[in-house]
Structure 1
């Protein structure tokens, strides 16, 4: 069975945009999604592919969240195969043993303008590194994300698309849920 994964941005983080796990499940099921699982509280919903393009599924979820909860929550959706391809494309395989230091930012589209990201001098942030590959931005910070100047610089480089990040643990667990 084909699956889609909805990645909600900025919910249940620091007490903002409260959207409990049980409510996420109920909302997805109210949209007619079948075989729904919610991983963690931070907005990772896996469900049977509803037969709509991921971009349309994202809009449907965003609209329903706004209507029912009054929250503006950006949503990025990937198919199971797109998620698997993002995992396979990891440009930093050496980072996998420390998965909390490797993040993938999922983008709603390939950015049209990457000039601000391209302007970042990689050597200035070593050993931290990043790479944009299509609709995924990989960020590896061996010393941790909290102290990383690169993580802060990358987050300030607007790409003009919806973006939401997950650490490597979450990314691989989402694929496992999609495959279950």
Structure 2
């Protein structure tokens, strides 16, 4: 039996840095034994099927393969289509009423203790807001991520220490749910 997954690569193809062509990423995933491979955008979103059920092992294998092929490290988070759908369904914000650029999900490599956010005074950033979910964080940024003071605060090393995290806007979240739906 196989499962459909999404691989979320962090920080590739940004301003010419860590360039990973999507065709080469698809080839690499195929070389790792995965099937039904597709990519979305140039920002490191790949969907594939695998018999392996260990998301962490899948991410580690992809990270190692990218290091060997391209000569630089890239953090990856791999999640099943079922998980992605559950995250979208559990969104605490009215996603249908918002523009995709206003709502984001940060996916973490593991569960995040609420203590990570204890130092954050969320009230100081209103109307922006965030909510911790299952290995993810929902961020409402009405003026977009680039102008978000809350996103800037959430990215501080003391809040993200030891975590692998990668963020997608709601349009990408919805598209990945669609692509991984079987």
Q: TM-score range by the shorter chain?
A: over 0.9
* Aligned residue among 159, 163, 167 for 1:165: 167
Distance 2:97 2:55 in 1: 27
3-state secondary structure, aligned to 1:92: coil
Structure 1: gaps (5+ residues): none
Relative to structure 1, the CA distance from residue 163 to residue 148 in structure 2 (aligned partners, 3 Å threshold; closer, same or farther) is same
Distance 2:119 2:96 in 1: 24
3-state secondary structure, aligned to 1:146: helix
- Alignment-derived partner of residue 91 in structure 1: 92
- Alignment-derived partner of residue 150 in structure 2: 150
**Aligned-pair distance for 1:116?**
4.7
After TM superposition, the runs of 4+ consecutive aligned structure 1 residues lying more than 4 A away are none
Give the count of matched residue pairs. Answer: 179
- Across the aligned residues of Structure 1 and Structure 2, the Cα RMSD in angstroms comes to 1.6
Distance 2:134 2:161 in 1: 12
Deviations 1:45-95 (A, max 9, x none): 101133231111001100111111111000100001011111011111257
Q: TM-score, normalised by structure 2?
A: 0.92
Kept after mapping to 2: 8 A contact 1:9/1:73 = yes
Relative to structure 1, the CA distance from residue 173 to residue 40 in structure 2 (aligned partners, 3 Å threshold; closer, same or farther) is same
Distance 1:38 1:82 in 2: 18
Relative to structure 1, the CA distance from residue 57 to residue 116 in structure 2 (aligned partners, 3 Å threshold; closer, same or farther) is closer
Q: Which stretch of structure 1 is more off in the superposition, 74-83 or 47-56?
A: 47-56
Deviations 1:11-52 (A, max 9, x none): 001211000111111111111110000111111110113323
Distance 1:140 1:2 in 2: 30
Q: TM-score, normalised by structure 1?
A: 0.93
**Aligned-pair distance for 1:152?**
0.4
Kept after mapping to 1: 8 A contact 2:52/2:58 = no
3-state secondary structure, aligned to 2:175: helix
Structure 2: gaps (5+ residues): none
Deviations 1:100-149 (A, max 9, x none): 1111000000125x435222112210000001112001111112222211
